[in-house]
Structure 1
Amino acid sequence: MPVQPTPSEGSSVTPGATTSDDHQRVWTPRLVLGLVSIVLLLEVLAISYLMISTALPFIVTHYQTTQGAWLLTAFLLTGAVTAPVIGRLSDMFGKRRLLLACVALAAAGCLLSAIAPSYGVMIAGRALAGFLVPCLFLGYSLIRDVFPPKAVALAVSIATTGMGLVAVPAPFLTGWLIDDFGFRSIFWFLFAVVVAIGFAILVTVDESPLRVRTTVDLVGAVLLGAGLAGVLVGVSFGPSWGWTAASTLTYLLGGAALLMAWLVSARTVAAPLVDLDVLRRRPVYLTTISAGVAYGISGLFAVLLPMMVMVPGIMGLGYGWGLSAEDFALFQLPMVIAIVAGGLLVGVLVSRGFAPRLLMLAGLSLMAIGMLVVAFNHSEKSTIILGAVILGLGQGMSYAAVPNLVIEAVSPTLQASTASIVAVSQSIFPAVLSVVAFTVLNNSHVAMVAQGATFYDSDGFTVAFVIGAIVSVVGALTALAMPRRATDEIAETAGVLGAA
């Protein structure tokens, strides 16, 4: 029988909070509707990224900015900083309650972006919408607590990659909204859908019975958030401010100092934002790294792809076909189908005993191959589609492997808080990779600026995709290094910690 790790220092489990009653449950119509509600919410999280990426060329042109990466970075940075806090609060007050609170804040962010008069307000709205990010781990952690045990592996795979109900038609919906109503319609649509799904979850999903008595490390949250923001601002604006400028160095060094202060704080408080003792366990930190890589690569590809194919071919940049948003939907469809197929494949294989770490290894390897295919030939549509399909299959497999790895690695009482550690990585990696890619492009690969829009040369995209491929390989090697039996590793580490 697997050894259950004890709660981190400074926390305790509420007596009587078990899932024994849930183990006797069978599938009911309400349970099915609850799963559909969670699936739709998490698909909205996924397609919101797709929608914003597709609308990115229109948004940066409208506001005449070269800092398009911050549309995604602000969203992800909020997710990275709030995920551990939300994880702690959900352990204390209930996962469903915190899920609904995040949905309400995200809806407010979508509304703010829809009416944004300036790019700064647009970024503020996107930052608030970042409360959708914690919904990912809250969703599958809630499933772990209230769904029949035999259905958990398939249910979390469906929840994190979707059933195609929204993902497949999403590109066509995105194209129609942008081409016919402008980029603001994307945010109005997301606002309405998030509100509707929040109500559905309210009436169809049960609350988790698990509770943990703990505290919330607000100081750690401020230090981590400010540190990450400082470093990313310095990296983003370094090319335009100058790498040796006082402003650049202030943000970079100040951000680094705050991150160091956060590490010190995490070692001194009773219940830190991120439990470093849990994080240092081999299954946990390797899962955290590989999950971050998977999300980082998919986010980078989502940003770069529309920027290439929607550029008019007559500009002579060596890429681009001037696709409209609706044309781009058809172009992207094979990749979306591959993502859904990869996720469902993992759900089936895990339920039949396949090791999630091997599926993560396969997924990240496919993502590396897809990146390389596009890196060295992005002048032909067929090659880009091939690379996108390969990457999409790997993305679906990697995304679905993550929650199964987390469930395998930790006890139910630490599910949400540990998953929140992984969620930090899932937010930081795409935020950092997007900023790095734009920094490289803006620093030495600007081909021309026309009507407020910046266009990059072909070599710049090659470099960006190669960077993605290298990071994917690192993630694959990390998955390969995972222990064959995570519970054995946890038992060994827990014994060492107990002895200490």
Structure 2
Amino acid sequence: MDASQFALGTPDPTNEDQRTPTGRQWTPRVVGSLISMALLLELLSISYMMIAIALPQISAHYRTTQGAWLQTGFLLLGAVASPLIGKLADTHGKRKLLMVCIALSAVGALVSATGSSFGVIVAGRALTGMLGPCLFLVYTLIRDVFPKQTVAMAVSIAISGMGLVTVPAPFLTGWLVDNFGFRSVFWFTLICLCVLGPLILATTDESPVRLRSTIDLVGAALLGAGIAGGLIGVSFAPDWGWTAPSTLAYLIGGTALFAAWIVSARIIREPLIDLRILSDRAVALTVLSSGLCYAVSAVFAILLPFMCMTPAVLGLGYGFGVSAEGFAVFQAPLGGATVIGGFVVGFLVSRTGSRTLMIVGMAVMALACTLTAISHESKPQVIIFSALVGLGSGIGYAAAPNLLLATVPQPLQGTTGAVSSVSQSVLPAVLPVVAFTVLNSHIATVVEGAAFYTDEGLTIGFLIAAGAALIAAIAAFALPRRVEQVADLDIQTQPLSDEPVLSPNAP
């Protein structure tokens, strides 16, 4: 995948040097650049997991049942910003925009670390979502400025390395939260960004590639406000009442803004997302299945620590009362199995095809989430089920980009990549809010401001994840086995070149 998946445009004819460097050596500077950018992606990889582990403590501290917004805000801003950042990067330089994203993420981490209210922490966490665009900025920057013979290996190291921290990171996060409080997670992010930013700036050249394109700020504002408004109405409806004026205002306003975005996307020449490509069945089903894969992982990642950290003495039918550090024994197998899932795809994709692997991965996730919903009384069971979720999600993450290449006509692959990326951020932002809306209607007790949910509510939450995984499996099954012809769509696209197929892991 390349930047054209996020920013389509016309090459600048005034820029004559748009070639990949041809040097052959892994110089110390190139190695330093790769290490610093790979570590940045490692930070992105564990960011979602660290907040999920700290979430029970954060929710208890601020006496809120809206903790899911810490993840929703992070993903939503990243989803809306990615296409804009991609176009700005192609116009003004990828390294420059990478530095902007790092700086904004650092400001967000600082705001969250020092915030005095839950709303301020959510705002800071949303701004930290600017880490999301760093993923494609890193590997496209590598493509543009690294010696040509090193590009494939460098991209592979930078992307595949994102799974290496999934096993030790839960233990580090647990130690930080238990010994220094939940704010230590934000401080950790801030310190890492303050170190990695200057390192990348000092070791990485600016990309010479420039494209001319327009920026759809109106579309970004309408899409972001529309989704956020609707989610606020849904998430607070259990407290306000579904017929309360405030609930209806957010629901109606969000729907109206989202409808306005759809209209604008159809009339603007270069919209944030070109919706016409969704008329192609292969495109629509690929986007849906890959987005739901990430959404199921997001729901499970939030529900699992809530379930495991709930004190067993409350007699709710679940809960082991583990600390944040103790929770690592549940999270580490999940992370390790996710990496294994990626290797499974690497070994089997040429034999079985990405469509079959996506079906299998989503079926495994659906089964594991269902088993977790039905039986969550013993630690060994939950650990096994968590590992199964990790295995299924790892297969899904790795199968998604291969699925795009295998099922989508080549002229549509660039644009589909952009839509798929947004789907992989928006759906994980939406589904946890839906799950917690259900949970907030099943509160069993409140202890010192911390809400604990009934066993029935928790079961429904995991079943929501299972249902989403099943829909993803059905969508993958409905994909055509091969593309017979190029869809007759008048869309300005740039097909993928000979770059490696990427298998990034979700946060």
Please identify, of 399-408 and 77-86, the stretch whose mean Cα deviation from structure 2 is larger: 399-408
Cα offset for 1:86?
A: 1.4
- Which ranges in structure 2 are unaligned for 5 or more consecutive residues? 494-507
Identity of aligned residues (%): 52
| Residue pair 1:153, 1:347 contacting (<8 A) in 2 also | no
Match of 1:392 among 390, 393, 397: 390
- 1:140–1:159 Cα contact (<8 Å) kept: yes
Q: What is the distance in 2 between the residues matched to 1:485 and 1:26? A: 38
TM-score, normalization by structure 2: 0.87
Deviation for aligned residue 1:330 = 2.5
Task: Describe the shift of the 1:385–1:264 C-alpha distance in structure 2 as closer, same or farther (beyond 3 A).
Answer: same
Structure-2 residue corresponding to 1:372: 370
Tell me the secondary structure at the aligned position of residue 327 of structure 2.
helix
CA contact (8 A) 2:59 2:65 kept: yes
Is contact 2:409–2:487 with CA below 8 Å preserved after alignment?
A: no
Distance 2:6 2:177 in 1: 48
Greater mean alpha carbon deviation, residues 286-295 or residues 372-381: 286-295
User: Where in structure 2 are the equivalents of 1:86-97 lying within 5 Å?
Assistant: 86-97=85-96
Query: Is 2:419 aligned against 1:424?
Result: no
Equivalent in the alignment of 1:316:
315
How do residues 297-308 of structure 1 correspond to structure 2 at under 5 angstroms?
297-308=296-307
In 1, the alpha carbon distance for the partners of 2:149 and 2:475 equals 28
Q: Secondary structure of the equivalent of 1:273?
A: coil
Check the 8 A contact 1:283/1:482 in 2, yes or no. yes
Q: Equivalent of 2:471, from 462, 470, 474?
A: 474
Q: 1:145 to 1:249 in 2, by over 3 A?
A: same
Distance change (3 Å), C-alpha of 1:237 and 1:221:
same
Q: Does 1:55 align with 2:54?
A: yes
Aligned partners of 2:366 and 2:470 also within 8 Å = yes
Query: 1:296/1:25 Cα in 2 relative to 1: closer, same or farther (>3 Å)?
Result: farther
**Which residue of the partner structure matches residue 343 of structure 1?**
342
2:241 alignment partner AA: G
Aligned match of 1:493: 488
- Measured in 1, the distance between the counterparts of 2:152 and 2:476 equals 19
| Contact 2:8-2:492 within 8 A present in 1 as well | no
1:18/1:210 contact within 8 Å kept: no
Code of the residue aligned with 1:470 in structure 2: it is: G
1: CA distance between counterparts of 2:63 and 2:5?
A: 50
For residues 145 and 139 of structure 2, the distance between their equivalents in structure 1, rounded to whole angstroms, comes to 10
Task: Identify the residue that residue 330 of structure 1 maps to in structure 2.
Answer: 329
Letter in 1 for 2:123: A
Taking the aligned partners of 2:488 and 2:208, their CA distance within structure 1 comes to 28
The AA in structure 1 aligned to 2:453 is Y
Number of positions where the alignment pairs a residue of Structure 1 with one of Structure 2: 489
State which drifts further: 406-415 or 122-131: 406-415
Which runs of 5 or more residues in structure 1 are unaligned?
none
Q: State the superposition RMSD in angstroms.
A: 3.2
Q: TM-score, normalised by structure 1?
A: 0.88
Q: 1:292 Cα shift? A: 1.2
| Contact 2:276–2:489 under 8 Å retained in 1 | no
Q: Which amino acid aligns with 2:68?
A: A
Checking the alignment, whether the CA contact within 8 Å between 2:170 and 2:325 is kept in structure 1 is yes
Q: Secondary structure at the match of 1:215?
A: coil
Alpha-carbon spacing, 1:190–1:90, altered in 2? closer, same or farther (3 Å): same
What are the within-5 Å matches in structure 2 for residues 120-139 of structure 1? 120-139=119-138
Residue 9 of structure 1: how far off its partner (Å): 12
Post-superposition offset of 1:24 = 5.7
Q: CA deviation at 1:478?
A: 2.1
Equivalent residues of 1:109, 1:124 under 8 A apart: yes
CA distance in 2, matches of 1:19, 1:494: 32
* Cα distance change of structure 1 residues 153 and 252 upon mapping to structure 2, 3 Å threshold: farther
Conserved? CA contact 1:161–1:339, under 8 Å: no
Give 1:451 shift. Answer: 0.6
Q: Which residue number corresponds to residue 432 of structure 2?
A: 434
- 2:211 & 2:308 partners in 1: Cα distance? 49
Q: 2:451 aligns with which of 447, 450, 454?
A: 454
Alignment partners' CA distance in 1, 2:464 and 2:119: 29
Change (3 A) 1:288 1:7: closer
Asked whether 1:112 is paired with 2:107, we answer no
Matched-pair contact (CA < 8 Å) for 1:235–1:439: yes
